[in-house]
């Protein structure tokens, strides 16, 4: 819990009013029900404005129905309007479903960190 609090304080120091932080609900059209959420921050990077997705989740009943792909497509459009030239994210190695989604949406591997349990 402390690590989580530290990360929130680091990346959302003013909560929802943090400059450069964007938190969106993903809403199912017909019932106007929240289907998930996405949180990304935009900052000046080495090669211009860059976004980083800190949290992205589609709730279980809405998974495998295209909401993830749609949300990432809309994020691309929003980021382009903001002048963002690159979007980054982290995905855990055992999260095969998310990994495949990100690859399908054009994300490429930039590095690989590995570990071994002893």
- Residue 3: which pLDDT band, with cuts at 50, 70 and 90? confident
Average the pLDDT over each of 4-8, 18-22, 40-44, 104-108 and give the range with the smallest value: 4-8
Q: What is the pLDDT of residue 44?
A: 95
Place of tokens 């055992």: 94
Element (H, E) at 69: helix 67-81
d(CA 8, CA 116): 28
- The per-residue pLDDT for range 95-115, each reduced to its tens digit, is 999 999 999 999 999 998 888
* Residues in contact with 51: Cβ distance below 8 Å, sequence separation at least 6, in sequence order: 40, 41, 42, 75, 79, 82, 84, 86, 87, 88
């Amino acid at each position: 819990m402390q690590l989580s609090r530290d990360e929130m304080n680091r990346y959302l120091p003013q909560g929802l009013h943090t400059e450069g932080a964007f938190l969106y609900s993903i809403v199912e059209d017909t019932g106007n029900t929240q289907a998930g959420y996405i949180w990304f921050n935009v900052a000046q990077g080495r090669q211009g404005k860059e976004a980083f997705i800190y949290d992205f989740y589609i709730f279980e009943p809405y998974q495998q129905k295209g909401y993830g792909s749609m949300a990432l497509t809309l994020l691309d459009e929003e980021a382009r309007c903001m002048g963002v030239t690159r979007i980054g994210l982290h995905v855990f190695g055992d999260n095969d479903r998310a990994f495949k989604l990100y690859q399908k949406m054009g994300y490429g591997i930039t590095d690989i960190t590995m570990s071994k349990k002893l």
